[in-house]
Structure 1
Amino acid sequence: MPARIAAIVFNEVPPDAPPDERDILDQVSLVENTLPELGYQSVRLPVGLDLAAFLSRLQHIGPDVIVNLTESICNRGELLFLPAAVMEAYHFTFTGSPADALFLTTSKPLAKKWMMLNGIATPSWYPASENLSLDPFRTYAAKPAREDGSAGFDEDCVFSGKDFPGFCKKYREKLPSYFVEEFLPGREFNVSLLAGQDAPEMLPVAEMIYEDFPEGKPKILGYTAKWEEDSFEYRHTVRRFVPSDVEPELTARLYEICLQCWQIFGLQGYARIDFRLDAQGIPNVLEINANPCITPGAGFYSACEQAGYSFREVLDRIIACSLRH
């Protein structure tokens, strides 16, 4: 019996790409090395703006399933839904969330509007504009509206309302691509979800701990903390898992919100949802990541490890979900 074919779809990576872009190649290798254990022969298929060529190659390969790892197109995060849209239109079976879910969650302001319409707490936000008037006594964060991996987000993007004009001056050219969000002071969590037979499984809750951060230094998981391994931020930002029996009410509430997000955004396969608590201890959703990084050390992979799953088991469940849909 011939081996089944799995195409691994991922964004093209230029030779001089920074670490956050090159990380996709590690994800591809991980999947490529695991697929034979599941009975698949794999074919790499990078994708760029030439979607006609991408479709032609797909039709030539005729895969039994496609593992979709796309994080951007030409380093533009807002375009990551395009391969999924093509694959849906031509009835290919692929892993992860559908194009609509990828489009909704990649546009952070649009996702926040959708959350608010469905009664999910999320920090207040505003379009970034030099005419924006902010409360001088509150703290805010300016974030790229359509990027993942903390690209374009670091501690200089956190400021008091009175200092917003200084941010505008520094980031004037990029300002249209940002939005401004109220910065919440509470604890930060992320929860990974993995498809099950009938409903997603909520994996162990992870809390981000900012160890020995000096007074006044923003406690954020920015680009430096994620990617610059020699930095203070990278070395002092630690993930710790919260046992469900230690804080059962908090864990139950986070899981309840995660399930609601999975349903209203139409997520599939796997996802990660990031939270911060507000001053009253209420969980607010910061971001929904419909295609989180799956390499070792990343939040999703670490949560799977904490739950006792091998990557083989995880990939098998993700593929099985795509075949059911």
Structure 2
Amino acid sequence: MHLTIAIIYNEPVPGHYEALGERTAVLGVLEAVEAVHQALVDSGYSVIRMPLLPPIESVRPRLEPLEADLVFNLFEGFDGWPGSEAAVADILSELGLAFTGCPSASLSLALDKGKAKAVFEAAGIRTPRYQLLKPETLGMFDLRYPCIVKPCAEDASHGISELSIVNDQASLERRVAWVCDAFGGLALVEEYLDGREFNATVLGTDEPLVLPISEIVYNLPVSLPRILCFPAKWEPESVYHRCTAPFCPAQIEPDLREKIADYAIRVFRLLGCSGYGRVDFRLDAAGNPAVLEANPNCDISPTAGAALQARTAGMDYRQFIDTIVHLALEQQPA
């Protein structure tokens, strides 16, 4: 069967993240576009590329005349507006276009990290203790130091650096103020877990499976906190990038592997995910896995963790991308 697949993605343009010195993450989508395009061609599909530009009101008329059997959704949100990722998925659904990955509701829920963590807690899934704070509500702080301070609704480690770890009231006040000013809204403040870090990619919908689990291995100077911050992901010359690496498969006991895989599938289902996504974990002081966050439609570029886990499972990159295509097609009415 000869299919035409349209790749949609956010065309990188200067904006808010560039002003923060974090534009490299925005440019990262282009690596995925190139690689996915080639993998689709290698699988025999006809491929159309469709970059999207703001404003959001221009997206629907851009997509309405699209003639394709499937949309490969690599859209990650417009610069400075991560919520537009879910908005575009919603437009695809309203237009009746078949597309890869997760639905709008999943993307929206996972992006709201506080709301997602509340869902995890309600289902009995461990997650670090947390509060949503702003400078005016710091008097309500009721967590144990050290803590990590993050934007409450961002992806790609935006706004996370070594300064995100706070050990006292003064550093907490400075970081919450900076996060709220730089990103708007509230800051997510979590009790920092210093245990081993893992992530698990989930593939599927009705019967999701967990790919081999990765451990994030840190070989940082003792003065730097062990966190997967923005430089670790996006700044190759930084000490964080040079001293942080995924190891797959993770060297862990079978019972821990089973706990992580069970949590990953439960989180995937709780968020209503389909196709693919990644769940991030840290071990608490007792060695129990706690969910840090979930990433529907996670990075699937060849150098990303999901592709590494797929290779470990025996899939080359073309097979990995073709699996995502078939998972999307299986969800369409006969």
Q: How does the TM-score come out when normalised to structure 1?
A: 0.92
- The answer on whether the counterparts of 1:47 and 1:83 sit within 8 Å (CA) in structure 2 is no
> 1:223 deviation in Å?
0.4
Is 1:304 matched up with 2:310?
yes
Is 1:203 matched up with 2:202?
no
1:4 is matched with 3
**Aligned-residue CA RMSD in angstroms?**
2.1
Q: How does 1:70-149 map to 2 (within 5 A)?
A: 70-130=75-135, 131-133=137-139, 134=141, 138-149=145-156
Secondary structure at 2:28 match in 1: helix
Cα distance in structure 1, aligned partners of 2:104 and 2:144: 40
Deviates more, 1:70-79 or 1:285-294: 70-79
> 1:243 deviation in Å?
5.1
Aligned sequence identity (%): 31
Q: Deviations over 1:152-176 (max 9, x none)?
A: 1111011114331233455562363
> 1:191 deviation in Å?
0.6
Which amino acid in the other structure matches residue 12 of structure 2? Answer: V
Cα distance in structure 1, aligned partners of 2:283 and 2:90: 35
**Structure 1 residues 169 and 273 mapped into 2: Cα distance closer, same or farther (>3 Å)?**
closer
User: Could you tell me which of 300, 310, 329 is aligned with 1:323?
Assistant: 329
Which amino acid in the other structure matches residue 188 of structure 1? Answer: E
1:239 is matched with 246
Q: How does 1:39-58 map to 2 (within 5 A)?
A: 39-58=44-63
Cα distance in structure 2, aligned partners of 1:7 and 1:169: 42
Q: Deviations over 1:126-149 (max 9, x none)?
A: 112223244686211111111111
Is 1:293 matched up with 2:292?
no
Which amino acid in the other structure matches residue 144 of structure 1? Answer: P
Equivalenced residues, count = 321
- The answer on whether the counterparts of 1:128 and 1:142 sit within 8 Å (CA) in structure 2 is no
Q: Deviations over 1:76-98 (max 9, x none)?
A: 21221011100111211000001
Q: How does 1:181-260 map to 2 (within 5 A)?
A: 181-195=190-204, 198-214=206-222, 216-242=223-249, 246-260=252-266
Cα distance in structure 2, aligned partners of 1:168 and 1:80: 25
Which amino acid in the other structure matches residue 314 of structure 1? Answer: F
Deviates more, 1:297-306 or 1:31-40: 31-40
> 1:111 deviation in Å?
0.8
Which amino acid in the other structure matches residue 241 of structure 2? Answer: Y
Cα distance in structure 2, aligned partners of 1:26 and 1:202: 24
Is 1:282 matched up with 2:291?
no
> 1:74 deviation in Å?
3.2
- The answer on whether the counterparts of 1:78 and 1:107 sit within 8 Å (CA) in structure 2 is no
**Structure 1 residues 121 and 56 mapped into 2: Cα distance closer, same or farther (>3 Å)?**
same
1:313 is matched with 319
Structure 2 gap ranges (5+):
none
Is 1:173 matched up with 2:205?
no
Which amino acid in the other structure matches residue 228 of structure 2? Answer: L
User: Could you tell me which of 28, 33, 38 is aligned with 1:33?
Assistant: 38
Secondary structure at 1:23 match in 2: helix
Cα distance in structure 2, aligned partners of 1:57 and 1:217: 46
Which amino acid in the other structure matches residue 148 of structure 1? Answer: D
Q: How does the TM-score come out when normalised to structure 2?
A: 0.90
Q: Deviations over 1:280-302 (max 9, x none)?
A: 11111101000111112211111
- The answer on whether the counterparts of 1:12 and 1:74 sit within 8 Å (CA) in structure 2 is no
Cα distance in structure 2, aligned partners of 1:136 and 1:308: 43
**Structure 1 residues 57 and 227 mapped into 2: Cα distance closer, same or farther (>3 Å)?**
same
